[in-house]
Structure 1
């Protein structure tokens, strides 16, 4: 039972950066903006958060720095995609490539350095047999991700601002005709997404793997993007999907621990293989995706032509 509790805790820990990043991406996609630069934003945030936490010895400041770095990267994307009206797919891919190179350059002097392990968990609750180890012995960012999921559910389906955001994602021309500032709303959605990706990147370098190596994010930005489609743009399903992908990631280490004779390369492929399988299964029913996908996702909006 103790090993099972540890497996649950590790799965939640592994799924947390996917959850936070995917929730942020869900918001900007609900607003009709497709940003494929999540990997680059998370990488820049990861090295920024690690560098600040390493230099100041204050991990919480690393999260703040990571969020700011993610927002700055999102601002660059917003200027290109919303103001200059560049192709969103090409711009997002360029942002990922730029982020990978920039993080490698900034992190040269931090390669191989690490942060001291901190004590996490909720006092008293973490001492409960089984449940304490499985659920309450986590970093505060884990519980932040859960609260964020609940907050986004309320925002999208219970608030007027959430209704406006969804209307912008469905028909920006109609929203503009009614007087809503479509570009401003999309810009704010991108900033929120950048902050979430930044927090997720900082979590990876400050908590999950408290060290810096080049390419630390290791494709999690792409998995987070796939997770929004897998969840059909619904926050509760994002939570379930993040836990699923986190479990698959941890299983590779569990298999090695119990002596399953599989090459390590195959075990390392499991999270990405699971992503491909899920996307293939979803793509078999394009009508289902079309019914749930924001109608204007990835389409440019020019106020003068509305």
Structure 2
């Protein structure tokens, strides 16, 4: 492998990590916020698919990619709000409700998105991070989604909010000890509904990045399970928004290995390399989730479910 091919390969991995990792980043941040309040949302796959369809449809109908992004966030928030409301009812299980809403979200997206499979919609602009290089492959690989800075900002704001703001402390209190939150006069259900809804809106930005940047079209296989993988990402990140950034880049880089090899002319094992994120998910779950042990950083209420 020549030096030029190696440079192109590394650039493809870095660029792919940023492109492929962007949906992972937003969905994991949304789930981190939800789980910090003591609630699990396994319906994030449905949220991701529905918001991806809504974002593409919004951009197609309005002619504005940014209005499409807003539509994706709203769709994600509404489905997550439904999850939060249902889980606040007595005797309703978070996991079972999440699975049901995952099926509802994907079903709605597939039904409503049928007319959107062929059309093209305006795309989110790219940030040219590779202009420093004279290598065209490097410049092409480092065309980064304009939503990436927003994701990094959200990660920093969530980290700061959990540590330094009253709202963040209340979310953590609801997640660590519901009884303590009630004793102080706060509604645990209201806190969890708010956190779940906000988490759905953040995850909706991940859906928008799928259809409005990479791969940049709507089809029924757009997500490939990224919403479910995000749950493992949050565990891997130990419920830290800042660690979610690194975890998303790791998974994004793993998903970019196959395309990066193709970019330098190595086609063997392409489909095998596409399984790397799923294998990584299994390894993380096996390493992180052991019987009788509570993962470090886990909200107290989650460990009791």
The answer to whether the 8 Å contact 2:162/2:169 transfers is yes
Is the Cα–Cα contact under 8 Å of residues 29 and 297 in structure 1 kept in the other structure?
Answer: yes
Is residue 253 from structure 1 mapped to residue 271 from structure 2 by the alignment? no
Residues 83-142 of structure 1 deviation map (CA, whole Å, 9 limit, x = unaligned): 3541111000001111111111011111133335564216xx763348x95997422201
Shift of 1:203: 0.9
Q: Provide the rounded CA distance (Å) in 2 between the counterparts of 1:262 and 1:234.
A: 37
SS in 2 for 1:99: helix
Q: Distance in 1 between matches of 2:294 and 2:159?
A: 21
Residues 41, 74 of structure 1: 8 Å contact kept: yes
**Which aligned pairs between 1:13-32 and structure 2 lie closer than 5 A?**
13-32=19-38
Residue 151 of structure 1, aligned match among 157, 162, 177 = 157
1:304 corresponding residue in structure 2? none
d(CA) in 1 for partners of 2:263 and 2:190? 50
Pick aligned residue for 1:127 from 107, 127, 131: 131
- For the Cα contact (< 8 Å) 2:16–2:141, is it kept in 1? no
2:141 and 2:271 map into 1 onto residues whose CA distance is 30
Q: Larger deviation: 267-276 or 280-289?
A: 280-289
| 2:119 paired residue number | 113
Give the equivalent residue in structure 2 for 1:293.
Answer: 298
Computed over aligned residues only, the root mean square deviation of the Cα atoms, in angstroms, reads: 2.4
Give the alignment of 1:89-238 within 5 angstroms.
89-115=95-121, 119-121=125-127, 127-129=131-133, 133=139, 137-238=143-244
Does structure 2 retain, via aligned residues, the 8 Å contact 1:88–1:298? no
In 2, the alpha carbon distance for the partners of 1:110 and 1:193 equals 26
Aligned to 1:113, the other structure's residue is in SS state coil
Choose 111-120 or 195-204, whichever is displaced more. Answer: 111-120
**Superimposed CA distance per residue, residues 173-202 of structure 1 (whole angstroms, 9 cap, x where no aligned partner):** 111111122111111101111101111111
After superposition, the Cα gap between the structure-2 partners of 1:8 and 1:299, relative to the gap in structure 1 and judged at 3 Å, is: same
1:74 maps to which of 65, 76, 80? 80
Aligned mates of 1:158, 1:126 — CA distance in 2: 36
Cα offset for 1:57? 1.5
CA distance in 1, matches of 2:287, 2:241: 20
1:11 is matched with which residue: 6, 17, 21? 17
TM-score where L is the length of structure 2: 0.89
Residue-pair matches, total: 297
Name the TM-score, length of structure 1 as normaliser: 0.89
Q: Flag the structure with higher helix content.
A: 1
Unaligned runs of at least 5 residues, structure 2? 1-6
Residue in structure 1 matched with residue 3 of structure 2 by the alignment: none
Q: Which residues of 2 match residues 53-64 of structure 1 at below 5 A?
A: 53-64=59-70
Distance 2:17 2:125 in 1: 18
Tell me: CA distance 1:141–1:168, structure 2 relative to 1, closer, same or farther (3 Å): same
User: Contact 1:15–1:243 at 8 Å: present in 2 too?
Assistant: yes
Matched residue, 1:242:
248
